[in-house]
C-alpha cells in the first residue's frame, strides 16, 4: 500500500508539472503576441490552467485506481463457469438451450428431480400443462417468466418456478425451483386447525351456553336441575380440554414430520407401563388386558414419550370399543432383527366395517359419531398415532371383520434403520 501511494504521489507531481509547463508556454505566447495588453490575459489563462492542474489529476488518479481494481478482478470473474455459479445456488437449478434440452443441473436439482441430466428434454420430463406452456413461451419470447408448479409423486411438493434467459446471445436459459412445500403445508395445517377446531368446539360450547341460560332462568331456584346441568357442563368442558390437547399434540407432530428419533427404546417395559396405567379403565369397561411380550428386550429407535402416546391410544380404543368381547390381547412378532418388530393390539368387540378402515386415521373421522362421543373420544387419536409412526419410519395396519373384533398392528423397522 505504501509503494502504491508513493507511485501515485509521483504520478500526481508529474501531471502537475506538465500542466504548469503548459500554462507557462501559453503565457509567454500571449505576452509575445499581444505585448503589454497580453499580461492580463496571460495571467487569466495561467490561473485556469493551474486550477485544472489542481483538480483534474486527482480525478484521473481515482479513475486509474478503479481501472486497476477492475483489471485485477476480471480474471477471477472470467474463471467462474456457469456450472460453478449453479453449484453455489441452494435451490434446484437447470440450465438449458434454445431447443429445450438440459445443458447442466446443479446438485440440488439432481436430488429434487432424479433422472434429470444433461441432454434430457424438459418438455418430456415436466408434462404438466402449466410447465409445457411456460417452456414454450420462454423459448419463443426469451423473457423472464414464473409459475406455480406441483408434483404429486413420490410426495406432494409445491414450487415457484422461474425461467430467465442468460448470456449476451440469449442462447441459454436458466430455470430455478423455489420449494414452497413447507409454506403450503403450514398454511393448510392452519386452515385445517381452524376448521376442525371450530367444528368440534361448536357443539359443547352451544350446550354450555344453553345450560347457563337455563340456570339463570327457569332452573335458577331448582337445586336438582342445577346439579344435573353443572355436571353436564363439567363433562363438556373436559371434552373441550381433551380436544384442545389432542389438536396441539397433532400440530406439534406435523411441525416435525421428517425428524426421525434416534434414541433406543425398549418397548417391553414401555407397553407394560401403559397396561398398568390403563388397568382401571379396563376394569371399568369390563375388559381384561392380556399381554404376551416375551422375555427378550424389544429395542426400536424412537421417542419414549411419543411411543407411550401411541400405545395409550391403541389400548384405550381397544378397551372402550371392544368391551363386549371382554378381552384385549397385546402380542409381539419378531421374525429376526433384520425384519423389525410388529406389535399387535386386538380386541374382540363388534369389529369395523371394511369401508371405514381406510379412513380411520383421518382427523375427526368416526365410524359412529354418537358412540365415539359417548366414549369421550375426540376423533384425533388414530391421526396422532399415524403421525407419530410416520416420524418413526413405522406404519400402522388395521384388520377387522364385523363380529370378529379389530387388530391394530404397529410395524417397526429394525433399530439400526
Instruction: State whether residue 153 is helix, strand or coil.
Output: coil
In the sheet with 288-292, reading across from the earlier edge strand, the strands are 288-292, 327-333, 341-347, 406-412, 395-400
pLDDT tens digits, one per residue of 212-255: 888 888 878 888 888 888 888 888 888 788 788 877 777 777 76
Instruction: State whether residue 360 is helix, strand or coil.
Output: coil
Hey, which residues does 289 pair with through a beta bridge? 328
Q: Report the percent of the chain where pLDDT is more than 70.
A: 72
Question: Phi/psi at 217 (nearest 5 deg)?
Answer: -120, -105
The sign one gets for the Cα dihedral 111, 114, 120, 125 is: negative
pLDDT for 23 equals 53
pLDDT (mean) for 157-184: 87
pLDDT band per the 50, 70, 90 thresholds, residue 204:
confident
pLDDT for 344 equals 94
DSSP for 141-198 reads H-S-EEEEEEE-SSS-EEEEEEEEEESSS--EEEEEEEE-HHHHHHHHHHHHHHHHHH
pLDDT for 25 equals 57
Which range of 163-172, 299-308, 357-366 scores highest in mean pLDDT? It is: 299-308
The answer to whether the beta carbons of residues 318 and 348 sit under 8 Å apart is no
pLDDT band per the 50, 70, 90 thresholds, residue 75:
very low
Residue with cell 478482478: 73
pLDDT (mean) for 167-188: 84
pLDDT for 70 equals 57
Hey, which residues does 176 pair with through a beta bridge? 93, 162
pLDDT for 219 equals 79
pLDDT for 36 equals 52
pLDDT for 2 equals 47
Residue with cell 437447470: 94
Residue with cell 337455563: 214
Return mean pLDDT, the chain: 78
pLDDT (mean) for 399-408: 88
pLDDT band per the 50, 70, 90 thresholds, residue 364:
confident
Residue 389 has pLDDT above 70, yes or no: yes
Quote the pTM value: 0.51
CA 390, CA 398: separation in Å to the nearest integer? 15
pLDDT tens digits, one per residue of 109-154: 988 898 888 999 999 999 999 999 999 999 888 889 999 999 887 7
Measured CA to CA in angstroms, residue 399 lies from 273, 319, 347 at distances of 25, 17, 11
- In this structure, the chain runs to a length of 417
Residue 77 has pLDDT above 50, yes or no: no
pLDDT for 22 equals 54
pLDDT for 26 equals 54
CA 332, CA 343: separation in Å to the nearest integer? 5
Amino acid at each position: 500500500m505504501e509503494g502504491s501511494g508513493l507511485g501515485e504521489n509521483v504520478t500526481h507531481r508529474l501531471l502537475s508539472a506538465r500542466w504548469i509547463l503548459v500554462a507557462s508556454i501559453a503565457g509567454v505566447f500571449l505576452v509575445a503576441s499581444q505585448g503589454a495588453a497580453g499580461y492580463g490575459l496571460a495571467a487569466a489563462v495561467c490561473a485556469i490552467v493551474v486550477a485544472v492542474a489542481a483538480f483534474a489529476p486527482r480525478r484521473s488518479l481515482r479513475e486509474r485506481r478503479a481501472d486497476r481494481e477492475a483489471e485485477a478482478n476480471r480474471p477471477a470473474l472470467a474463471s467462474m463457469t456457469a456450472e460453478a455459479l449453479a453449484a453455489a445456488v441452494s435451490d434446484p437449478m437447470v440450465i438449458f438451450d434454445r431447443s429445450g434440452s438440459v445443458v447442466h443441473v446443479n446438485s440440488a436439482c439432481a436430488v429434487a428431480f432424479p433422472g434429470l441430466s444433461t441432454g434430457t428434454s424438459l418438455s418430456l420430463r415436466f408434462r404438466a400443462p402449466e410447465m409445457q406452456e411456460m417452456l414454450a413461451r420462454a423459448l419463443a419470447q426469451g423473457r423472464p417468466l414464473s409459475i406455480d408448479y406441483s408434483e404429486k409423486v413420490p410426495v406432494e411438493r409445491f414450487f415457484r418456478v422461474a425461467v430467465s434467459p442468460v448470456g449476451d446471445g440469449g442462447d441459454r436459459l436458466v430455470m430455478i425451483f423455489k420449494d414452497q412445500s413447507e409454506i403450503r403445508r403450514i398454511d393448510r395445517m392452519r386452515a385445517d386447525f381452524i376448521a376442525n377446531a371450530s367444528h368440534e368446539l361448536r357443539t359443547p360450547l352451544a350446550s354450555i351456553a344453553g345450560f347457563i341460560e337455563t340456570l339463570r332462568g327457569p332452573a335458577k331456584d331448582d337445586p336438582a336441575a342445577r346439579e344435573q346441568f353443572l355436571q353436564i357442563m363439567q363433562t363438556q368442558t373436559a371434552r373441550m380440554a381433551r380436544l384442545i390437547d389432542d389438536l396441539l399434540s397433532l400440530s406439534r407432530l406435523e411441525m416435525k414430520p421428517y425428524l426421525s428419533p434416534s434414541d433406543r427404546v425398549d418397548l417391553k417395559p414401555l407397553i407394560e407401563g401403559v397396561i398398568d396405567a390403563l388397568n382401571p379403565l379396563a376394569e371399568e369397561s369390563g375388559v381384561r388386558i392380556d399381554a404376551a411380550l416375551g422375555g427378550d428386550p424389544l429395542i426400536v429407535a424412537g421417542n419414549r414419550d411419543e411411543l407411550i402416546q401411541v400405545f395409550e391410544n391403541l389400548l384405550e380404543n381397544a378397551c372402550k370399543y371392544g368391551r363386549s368381547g371382554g378381552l384385549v390381547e397385546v402380542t409381539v412378532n419378531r421374525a429376526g432383527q433384520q425384519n423389525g418388530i410388529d406389535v399387535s393390539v386386538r380386541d374382540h368387540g363388534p369389529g369395523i366395517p371394511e369401508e371405514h378402515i381406510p379412513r380411520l386415521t383421518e382427523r375427526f373421522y368416526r365410524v359412529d359419531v354418537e358412540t365415539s362421543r359417548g366414549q369421550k373420544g375426540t376423533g384425533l387419536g388414530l391421526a396422532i398415532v399415524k403421525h407419530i409412526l410416520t416420524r418413526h419410519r413405522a406404519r400402522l395396519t388395521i384388520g377387522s371383520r364385523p363380529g370378529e373384533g379389530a387388530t391394530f398392528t404397529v410395524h417397526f423397522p429394525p433399530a439400526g434403520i
